[in-house]
C-alpha cells in the first residue's frame, strides 16, 4: 500500500509543480511572447488574406519560394507514399471489417485470416499513412516557420526510403506469420531497426534547421514537431528492445508505448499542422497565443502517463491504473487550451470555413480532436470503462482520434501543400469536395455504428443473466453498418489518391494567380 500512495503522491506533486511553474512563467511574462510571435507564420502582406491553394491563390514571396523548394523532394516522397499506404491500409481495414460479419469469406489461407488482415490495416495506417504524412507535413512546415531552407534534405529522403523499406518488410513478415505479437508492436524488432534508422534520419534535417533558424521565436507548431520527433524514436526503441519484460510487465510497456504513439506522436504531429494551417489559411493568428504554451506542456505531462487505462480491471498494480485514470481526466486541461485557440479563430471566420476545403478538413479534424479527447477522458473512468472496455466502442473511439482527428488534418494539409510543392493546381477540384463528403458521411456511419453497437455489447456482457452469445448476435447489424461506412470512407481515399497522382503527373501550371486573395 505504501507504493500506491507514494507513487500517486510523487506523480501528482511533479505534475502540479510543473503546471504551477507554467502558470507562473506565463503570468510573469517569462517567455515574453504574445500575439506578435503568433504572427511569425505570416510574411508581409499575407495577414488578413485567405490563403487557399485549392482555389488558386499562389505565393509571391521569393524567400518563401526558396524555402518550399528546399523541401519539395523529400516532402513529395513522404506524402506520395503516405497516400499509397492509406489506400492499401483502407482496403485491408475494409476486408477485416467484412470478415467480422462474413466469417467464412476468404478463409483458405493464414495470410487472409482476420487476425493478420486487421494487423496489416493498423500497421499500414499508423506507420505508413499517418506517420509518413505527419513527418512530411512537419518537414514542410518547420523551414517555413523558421524562415530558412531545410538543412540536409537528403537525410530526409533517405529516411523516407529506409522507413518504407522497413514497413514493407514488416508487413510481409506479419502476413507470413512472423510477428512480435503485441498490439501496435507486431513488426518484428529486427525489422523495426530499419524504421528506427529511417525515422532517425528524417529527424536530423529538422533539428539542424531548428538550430539554424533565422527567426528568434519558435512558433507553437515547432514545439509540437520537435518534441514529437524526439519522443517517437525513444518510445519506439524502448518498446522494441527484446528480452527485458515478460508477462504483466510487458503489458504495461505495451500500453505505455501504444498510447504514447497516439499522445506523443500522432497528436503533436496533427496539432502542429493545425496550429500552422488554420491561422495561415484564414490569415489571422490563433486566439490566444500564450494559452498554446499551457496546452503544449500540459499535453506532455498528462498524455505521457495515460497508457495503463487500457488495463483497467487487469492484472497490474492498482496504483498504476489509478495514475493513468487520473492523468486521462487531466487531459481536459491541454485539450481545452487547444480547443479555445483553434476553434475560436475558425468560429470568428466562418466565411473561410465555407470558402476553403483544406481548412474545412483541418478545422473539422481539430473539432474531432476535442471530441475524441473528451470521450477518451470519460472512457478512462472506471464506471464507464467497465462497459466500453473489451468492446467495439473502443474501436470507434480509436477511429475518432486516429481518423476523425489525425487523418482529417492530414487530408487538409495535403490539399494545401501539394499545389505549393508542385506549382500546379489540383487537376480535379470536384474530387476534393467529393472526398470531403465521402469521408464525413462514411465516418459518421462508422462511428455511430461502433459506438452504439459497442455500448450494447458491453452492457450485454455485464449482464450475468444473458448468455455471451447475445453480445455477439446483437453486434452483427452494427458490424455490417461499419462496413458500409468503411466502404464510403475508402472511396474517399481513392479520390484523394487519384488527385495526388494527377498533380504529380499531369502538368497544368497554377495560372489563376491570386484569384481569391
Q: What residues numbered 376-395 form the site for other proteins, per CB under 8 A?
A: 382, 386, 389-392, 394
All three cell numbers of 380: 478512462
Q: Which of residues 177-206 bind other proteins (CB under 8 A)?
A: 177-183
CB-CB contact of 413 with 277 (8 Å)? yes
Among 5, 9, 13, 14, binds other proteins (CB under 8 A): 14
Comparing CB distances to other proteins, the nearer of 10 and 172 is 10
Phi and psi at 436, nearest 5°, equal: -55, -50
Comparing CB distances to other proteins, the nearer of 41 and 320 is 320
Comparing CB distances to other proteins, the nearer of 188 and 365 is 188
Q: Does 321 bind other proteins (CB under 8 A)?
A: yes
CB-CB contact of 286 with 341 (8 Å)? yes
Alpha carbons 206 and 151: distance in angstroms, whole number? 7
Q: Which of residues 53-92 bind other proteins (CB under 8 A)?
A: none
Alpha carbons 361 and 371: distance in angstroms, whole number? 15
CB-CB contact of 173 with 179 (8 Å)? yes
Q: Does 34 bind other proteins (CB under 8 A)?
A: no
Among 28, 214, 216, 505, binds other proteins (CB under 8 A): 216
Provide the mask over 394-423, with x wherever binding to other proteins is found by CB under 8 A and - wherever it is not: x-----------------------------
Residue located via cell numbers 487530408? 411
All three cell numbers of 251: 503489458
Comparing CB distances to other proteins, the nearer of 363 and 373 is 373
CB of 320 to other proteins, least distance (A): 5
Q: Which of residues 283-302 bind other proteins (CB under 8 A)?
A: 293, 300-301
Residue (of 331, 351, 201) closest to 271 by Cα position: 331
* Tally of residues, the chain: 517
Provide the mask over 238-267, with x wherever binding to other proteins is found by CB under 8 A and - wherever it is not: x------xxxxxxxxxx-x---x---x---
Alpha carbons 190 and 174: distance in angstroms, whole number? 13
Window of 46-54, 362-370, 458-466, 504-512 that interacts with other proteins by CB under 8 A: 458-466
Size of the site for other proteins (CB under 8 A): 97
Q: Does 461 bind other proteins (CB under 8 A)?
A: yes
CB of 21 to other proteins, least distance (A): 10
Q: Which of residues 86-125 bind other proteins (CB under 8 A)?
A: 99-101, 103-104, 107-110, 113-116, 118-119
SS (H, E, C) 34-93: CHHHHHHHCCCCCCCCCCCHHHCCCCCCHHHHHHHHHHHHHHHHHHHHHHHHHHHHHHHH
Amino acid at each position: 500500500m505504501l507504493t500506491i500512495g507514494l507513487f500517486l503522491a510523487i506523480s501528482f506533486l511533479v505534475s502540479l509543480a510543473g503546471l504551477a511553474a507554467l502558470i507562473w512563467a506565463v503570468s510573469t511574462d517569462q517567455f515574453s511572447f504574445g500575439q506578435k510571435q503568433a504572427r511569425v507564420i505570416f510574411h508581409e502582406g499575407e495577414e488578413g488574406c485567405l490563403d487557399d491553394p485549392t482555389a488558386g491563390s499562389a505565393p509571391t514571396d521569393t524567400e518563401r519560394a526558396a524555402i518550399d523548394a528546399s523541401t519539395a523532394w523529400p516532402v513529395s516522397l513522404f506524402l506520395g507514399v503516405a497516400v499509397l499506404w492509406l489506400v492499401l491500409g483502407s482496403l485491408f481495414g475494409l476486408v477485416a471489417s467484412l470478415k467480422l460479419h462474413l466469417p467464412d469469406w476468404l478463409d483458405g489461407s493464414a495470410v487472409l485470416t482476420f487476425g493478420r488482415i486487421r494487423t496489416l490495416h493498423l500497421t499500414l495506417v499508423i506507420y505508413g499513412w499517418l506517420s509518413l504524412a505527419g513527418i512530411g507535413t512537419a518537414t514542410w512546415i518547420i523551414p517555413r516557420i523558421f524562415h530558412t531552407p531545410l538543412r540536409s534534405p537528403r537525410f530526409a529522403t533517405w529516411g523516407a526510403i529506409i522507413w518504407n523499406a522497413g514497413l514493407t518488410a514488416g508487413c510481409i513478415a506479419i502476413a507470413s506469420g512472423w510477428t512480435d505479437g503485441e498490439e501496435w508492436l507486431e513488426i518484428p524488432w529486427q525489422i523495426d531497426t530499419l524504421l528506427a534508422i529511417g525515422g532517425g534520419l528524417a529527424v536530423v534535417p529538422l533539428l539542424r534547421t531548428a538550430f539554424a533558424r533565422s527567426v528568434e521565436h519558435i512558433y507553437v507548431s515547432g514545439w509540437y514537431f520537435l518534441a514529437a520527433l524526439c519522443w517517437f524514436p525513444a518510445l519506439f526503441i524502448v518498446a522494441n528492445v527484446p528480452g527485458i519484460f515478460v508477462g504483466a510487465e510487458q503489458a504495461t510497456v505495451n500500453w505505455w508505448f501504444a498510447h504514447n504513439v497516439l499522445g506523443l506522436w500522432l497528436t503533436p504531429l496533427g496539432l502542429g499542422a493545425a496550429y500552422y494551417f488554420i491561422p495561415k489559411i484564414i490569415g489571422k493568428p490563433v486566439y490566444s497565443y500564450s494559452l498554446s504554451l499551457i496546452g503544449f506542456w500540459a499535453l506532455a505531462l498528462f498524455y505521457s502517463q495515460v497508457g495503463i487505462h487500457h488495463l483497467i480491471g487487469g492484472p497490474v498494480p492498482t496504483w498504476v491504473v489509478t495514475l493513468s485514470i487520473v492523468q486521462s481526466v487531466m487531459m481536459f486541461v491541454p485539450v481545452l487550451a487547444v480547443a479555445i485557440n483553434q476553434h475560436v479563430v475558425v468560429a470568428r471566420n466562418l466565411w473561410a470555413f465555407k470558402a476553403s476545403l483544406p481548412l474545412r478538413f483541418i478545422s473539422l479534424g481539430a473539432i474531432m480532436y476535442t471530441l475524441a479527447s473528451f470521450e477518451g477522458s470519460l472512457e478512462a473512468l472506471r464506471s464507464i470503462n467497465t462497459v466500453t472496455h473489451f468492446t467495439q466502442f473502443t474501436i470507434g473511439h480509436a477511429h475518432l482520434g486516429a481518423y476523425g482527428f489525425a487523418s482529417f488534418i492530414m487530408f487538409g494539409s495535403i490539399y494545401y501543400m501539394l499545389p505549393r510543392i508542385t506549382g500546379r493546381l489540383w487537376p480535379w477540384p470536384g474530387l476534393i469536395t467529393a472526398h470531403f463528403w465521402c469521408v464525413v458521411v462514411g465516418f459518421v456511419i462508422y462511428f455511430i455504428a461502433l459506438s452504439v453497437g459497442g455500448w450494447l455489447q458491453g452492457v450485454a456482457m455485464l449482464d450475468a443473466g444473458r448468455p455471451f452469445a447475445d453480445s455477439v448476435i446483437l453486434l452483427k447489424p452494427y458490424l455490417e453498418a461499419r462496413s458500409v461506412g468503411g466502404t464510403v470512407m475508402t472511396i474517399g481515399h481513392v479520390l484523394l489518391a487519384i488527385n495526388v497522382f494527377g498533380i504529380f503527373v499531369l502538368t497544368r501550371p497554377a495560372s489563376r494567380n491570386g484569384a481569391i486573395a
